[in-house]
Amino acid sequence: MRMAALLATALGVAACGSESGQSTLRNVTTGIVSQLGNRAPSRVTLSDQAIRDLGEVVVLTRRKNDDAALIMPVGRNGTVTTYESVDGTQLLLDRDVLVGTKGFGEDITSAQPPDVRRTRGTALRDHYYLNGDEVIRRARFTCTITDTGADSIEVAGRDYPSRKITEACSSDLASFENLYWIEADGTIRQSLQWVGPEVGSLVLERVHD
Amino acid sequence: MIRTLSVSAIALSAVLGGTTASFPQELGRPTLNFYGVSGVIDMPSAAVQPDGQLASTLSYFGGISRGSLSFQIFPRVSGTFRYQGFQDLNYAGYEDYYDRSFDISMLILKESRYLPAVAVGLQDFVGTGVSSGEYIAASKTVTPRLRATVGLGWGRLGSDGDLGSPFGDRDPIEVDQGGTLNAEQYFRGPAAPFAGIEYQATDRMTLLAEYSSDAYELEAGERGSVSDAIIDRASPLNFGVDYRLNKNASLGAYYMYGSEIGLKVNFVANPYEPPMTGSYAPGPLPVQPRPARGSDPAAYATDWTQTPGVAATLTQRLAADFDEQGLDLESLAVDAGTATVRVRNPRFDAEAQAIGRAARAMSRVLPASVETFRITPSVDGMPVSTVTLRRSDLETYETAPDGADKLAAVAGIGEAVPQPAGSVRNAEVVPRFKWNLGPYIRNSYFDPDSPIRADLGARLSASYEAAPGLVFAGSISKRLIGNLDENKRIDTSVLPPVRSNFPLYDREGDPSLDSLTATYYFRPATNFYGRVTGGYLERMFGGVSGEILWKPVDSQLALGAELNYAKQRDYDVQFGFQDYDVVTGHLSAYYDIGGGYHAQVDVGRYLAGDYGATFGFDREFENGWSVGAFATVTDVSAEDFGEGSFDKGIRLRIPTSWFTGEPTRRAASTVIRPVTRDGGARLSVPGRLYGRARTYHESELEGQWGRVLR
């Protein structure tokens, strides 16, 4: 398939012209390289204080490869905030609960998660994905939400007393566990949230208060 | 509008199962045989490939090489085009004999608990007949890892160990022009049984064994002096192993007919399973919601409309936001409640994605009182449709669960609205000069002296759009390396040599003026599109061309008429012309059958002055893949036409975004003709209207609506 990719785009390679967006070679190459999974993980190298000074910022880490990035808000619609990293990847967080991703490939186009702050016991979670046939389909998971007790966590050098909530979800085809560290006022200070089988889970650390 | 699809286990497995790396436990994708069709080794089976799969297979044994391209046209029907070479066969006047052939097979019974899958197939059913054979095969999955096949073959597949001729005698094969249906031969003559088993030993390795009913009479030299013997068929038994390298490729090694070593490699691609799932491109500018009207009524005031120069200011700001998204704002008209934009989309292959990005940019620039967004995509200066969105719907559904579907339900798609008075044009978009310098590959297939030839070179193209729709364009190319000029074979033809002399153009046309045209695209009336083109239209012809197309936005049917005067260009592909000229033109009907299937009929006069019709059938996938076939029959007799009897071929389009996961309107397209002759040849006019007009029509917009919020 990689050979085919190269052949299929051979005509687009190394072209130059007046129009932008012709970096086909780069696109194909990055596509192939990221397919191979050889990309070195990016790191956040700023100190805790420097991160704090950035203001409203979330540290995003991909569980799968420890790829870390800072994401900042670029839009707010109702309770949903769109955060973006420097490479244009976006996360949509509804009061810190993931309801969409853009730029991960296997994106959650939209989602209807349970209210993890209040619900305990069984709940439904819906994710919508764009399939290879270009149709958006719903994946419905049955989840069990449990309060596992007090658990103080450290985010960017500060300790936050919080309760750890687990949300164990499954369907016929996939199962995963989301974790939330929720403070007394309802702030989700840190979480582990699942996107899909390929992307895996994301660790989100909310730096700002 | 977009239908909400119910969730089934299959749908879910496509969501989730498709991305898990492990192979399924039962027999995976069925084996492709030496002919590139579902089968065991050299014999066919009744297994079917996944719907929409495109497979290419290369196989070799005993001096026989086969290259096949197979497509699962419908869930139960597959078609194959094949090119075969027989080294040193010394047959029909050729030392090495080459042969093109088409197969078709159909599943007539799906496998069930007790019954096997049953398929019938026609092999080489319109070719020169060397490989002609028919079969009925039954395959059963005996255990999850073992599939057994038995079948009955006719023709080539009934040449060894026959049981008699149940349906009468078969006329001998005549190697003539080929290309005609050998219908009177189908299932006639001796019928012989064949059988095979496939055992999946490990997740990647499949062991294969079969009993072949093909005697290889011609290749074993058993027809006397007709041919030389190139293989020794010592046994009807074949054995082999197939090893799957990954999801898309497998290799095979075989011991064939008791004497030969065989090798096979195949590559499969399924349009539904892109190598890169979804999109890796940066996200859009988010919607900028307005304050609630109740809490901030002042924000909804309309006195801004009285500000001098406000339209120009908004146009400028919107143009900048569009530009950031890769879109070109052509013009903006805005009043207190409605904004109407004309937009060009050079970036997104998913049309709905361009609409969605335009709408979000509008939400960030336009005053709060503007509630209605009318977005009119423009293709080469022609407005082709208008998508109407309520701004409040956009705000509500941007982040809502299943928001794209909900937005689809309230979006209006209709005929392009005229741009209202007071519209401000963005001078950055038109007039505009564009140029591009890049490599090109030109190839030619199936010349018996060298089955594949290619040139690689550089091409400089440029265009200048002086006013919306008025485009001057040209391109020149220079070969850097290649062997197209080595083609010394010029087929003689009783028809005017309108295509068969292409080798002369390849030989003498370097550097070449590929095209130099002036084109005007326009909208003569509601639902109508028009085009007038003049100049050097293609490498072999220049002239003038006019076209009118009728295509309502919500119509599955489109009708077109094209009239051209064409004069043949000199072989040096520069400015001169030869004496031959012709008036050519067609009436066309295009029909979107549904489910991605498209039919097209063109009736008219062709380049050689012959009259006839071209029938085309394509399967298009929402992501831009397209696989199709076409055939042209004209009043030229098969004898006058020459090899192939009539013009036909297959065409293929694979979008670049399918590989990269990043938006681009680029695609790799190719047309494969078994033979290029002079009958049924159509002028290749750049800028035909159907592909342009329908781009933003209902079916195309809905097809990738899932990306509207992407």
Domain spans of chain B? 29-269, 297-429, 432-699
> Cβ of A134 and B703 within 8 Å?
yes
Kindly state whether A148 is in contact with chain B, defined as any CB-CB distance less than 8 angstroms.
Answer: no
Percent of chain B predicted with pLDDT > 90: 79
How confident is the prediction for chain A on average, in pLDDT? 84
Taken in order B186, B190, B191, B197, the sign of the CA dihedral is negative
Pull the structure tokens for residue A59: 């540290």
pLDDT of res. B127: 63
Q: For testing the chain B interface, which of A76, A99, A106, A169 should be mutated: the one with the most B CBs within 10 Å?
A: A106
* Backbone dihedral angles phi then psi of residue A198, each to the nearest 5 degrees: -85, -45
Average pLDDT over residues B111-124: 95
* Backbone dihedral angles phi then psi of residue B362, each to the nearest 5 degrees: -65, -35
Of B15, B276, B347, the CB nearest to A131: B15
pLDDT band at B20 (very low <50, low <70, confident <90, very high): very low
Of residues A15 and B155, the one with the higher pLDDT is B155
pLDDT band at B448 (very low <50, low <70, confident <90, very high): confident
Q: How far is B676 from chain A (nearest CA, A)?
A: 23
**How many angstroms separate the CA atoms of A127 and A104, rounded?**
15
Q: How far is B296 from chain A (nearest CA, A)?
A: 15
- The residue behind tokens 């050519």 is B584
**How many angstroms separate the CA atoms of B197 and B45, rounded?**
10
Q: Fill in the amino acid letter for B560.
A: G
> Cβ of A172 and B287 within 8 Å?
no
Of residues B13 and B234, the one with the higher pLDDT is B234
A 86-115: CB under 8 A from B: 87-90, 92, 94, 99-100, 102-107, 109-112
Report whether pLDDT(B134) > 90: yes
> Cβ of B709 and A5 within 8 Å?
no
Average pLDDT over residues B632-654: 91
pLDDT of res. A14: 54
Pull the structure tokens for residue B242: 């197939």
Q: Residues A41-75: pLDDT tens digits? A: 677 778 888 888 888 899 999 988 888 999 999 99
Pure H helices in B308-422:
310-324, 351-365, 391-397, 403-410
By CA distance, what is A136's nearest residue in B? B706
Contact B77, B106 (CB under 8 A): yes
Residues of A in contact with B271 (CB under 8 A): 132
pLDDT band at B270 (very low <50, low <70, confident <90, very high): very high
Taken in order A59, A61, A67, A72, the sign of the CA dihedral is negative
**How many angstroms separate the CA atoms of A186 and A95, rounded?**
9
Of B249, B346, B706, the CB nearest to A130: B706
**How many angstroms separate the CA atoms of B467 and B520, rounded?**
9
pLDDT of res. B184: 80
Report whether pLDDT(A39) > 60: no
Pure H helices in B389-509:
391-397, 403-410, 502-508
**How many angstroms separate the CA atoms of A167 and B112, rounded?**
40
Task: Examine residue B431 and say whether the peptide bond preceding it is cis (omega within 30 degrees of 0).
Answer: yes
DSSP state of B185: G
> Cβ of B656 and A197 within 8 Å?
no
Domains of chain A: 2-36 (no CATH), 48-206 (2.40.360.10)
Q: For testing the chain A interface, which of B399, B435, B656 should be mutated: the one with the most A CBs within 10 Å?
A: B399
Of B15, B248, B623, the CB nearest to A137: B15
> Cβ of B248 and A1 within 8 Å?
yes
The three-class DSSP label of residue B304 is helix
pLDDT of res. B602: 98
pLDDT band at B584 (very low <50, low <70, confident <90, very high): very high
pLDDT of res. B93: 85
**How many angstroms separate the CA atoms of B413 and B374, rounded?**
10
Report whether pLDDT(B196) > 60: yes
Residues of A in contact with B660 (CB under 8 A): 5, 9, 24, 27-28, 30-31
> Cβ of A137 and B5 within 8 Å?
yes
Average pLDDT over residues B248-275: 94
How confident is the prediction for chain B on average, in pLDDT? 91
By CA distance, what is A21's nearest residue in B? B347
> Cβ of A16 and B436 within 8 Å?
yes
State the DSSP string of A168-195: EEE-SS-EEEEEEEE-TTS-EEEEEEEE
A 7-66: CB under 8 A from B: 7-22, 24, 27-28, 30-31, 34-35
Of B17, B247, B289, the CB nearest to A173: B17
Pure H helices in B3-49:
9-15
CATH fit for domain B29-269, picks 3.40.50.11540, 2.40.160.40, 3.30.70.3040, 3.40.1550.10 = 2.40.160.40
By CA distance, what is A133's nearest residue in B? B272
Count Cβ neighbours within 10 Å for each residue of B407-419 and write b for 16 or more, e otherwise: bbeebebebbeeb
Query: Which residues does residue B105 pair with via DSSP β-bridges, in sequence order?
Result: B78, B121
pLDDT of res. B15: 38
Q: Residues B272-319: pLDDT tens digits? A: 988 877 888 999 999 999 999 999 999 999 999 999 999 999 999 999
> Cβ of A134 and B269 within 8 Å?
no
Which of A122, A77, A104 has its CA nearest to residue A193?
A104
Say yes or no: do domains B29-269 and B432-699 share a fold: yes
Query: Which residues does residue B107 pair with via DSSP β-bridges, in sequence order?
Result: B119
- The three-state DSSP-derived secondary structure of B399-411 is CCCCHHHHHHHHC
User: Which range is least confidently modeled, B19-28, B217-226, B525-534?
Assistant: B19-28
Pull the structure tokens for residue A1: 């398939």
Into which CATH architecture does domain B297-429 fall? 2-Layer Sandwich (3.30)
Q: Fill in the amino acid letter for B125.
A: F
Measure the CA angle with vertex A16, ends A13 and A20; round to 5°: 100
Task: Examine residue B511 and say whether the peptide bond preceding it is cis (omega within 30 degrees of 0).
Answer: yes
Which of A101, A96, A70 has its CA nearest to residue A162?
A96
How, if at all, do strands B338-344 and B372-379 pair? parallel
pLDDT of res. B176: 59
pLDDT of res. A31: 39
Residues of B in contact with A126 (CB under 8 A): 401-402
Of B275, B283, B287, the CB nearest to A84: B283
Q: For testing the chain B interface, which of A32, A173, A175, A199 should be mutated: the one with the most B CBs within 10 Å?
A: A173
State the DSSP string of B133-180: EEEEEEEEEEETTEEEEEEEEEEGGGSSS----TT---PPP--SS--S
pLDDT of res. A22: 42
Kindly state whether A78 is in contact with chain B, defined as any CB-CB distance less than 8 angstroms.
Answer: yes
Q: For testing the chain B interface, which of A16, A136, A195 should be mutated: the one with the most B CBs within 10 Å?
A: A136
Residues of A in contact with B267 (CB under 8 A): 1, 4
Report whether pLDDT(A34) > 60: no
ipTM of the complex: 0.87
The three-class DSSP label of residue B103 is strand
pLDDT of res. B271: 93
pLDDT band at A12 (very low <50, low <70, confident <90, very high): very low
Q: Number of A:B CB contacts under 8 A?
A: 236
Contact B352, B700 (CB under 8 A): no
CATH topology of domain B432-699: Porin (2.40.160)
pLDDT of res. B61: 95
Report whether pLDDT(B575) > 50: yes
Q: How far is A46 from chain B (nearest CA, A)?
A: 24
**How many angstroms separate the CA atoms of B570 and B567, rounded?**
10
Q: How far is B582 from chain A (nearest CA, A)?
A: 33
Q: Residues B355-394: pLDDT tens digits? A: 999 999 999 999 999 999 999 999 999 999 999 999 999 9
> Cβ of B11 and A131 within 8 Å?
yes
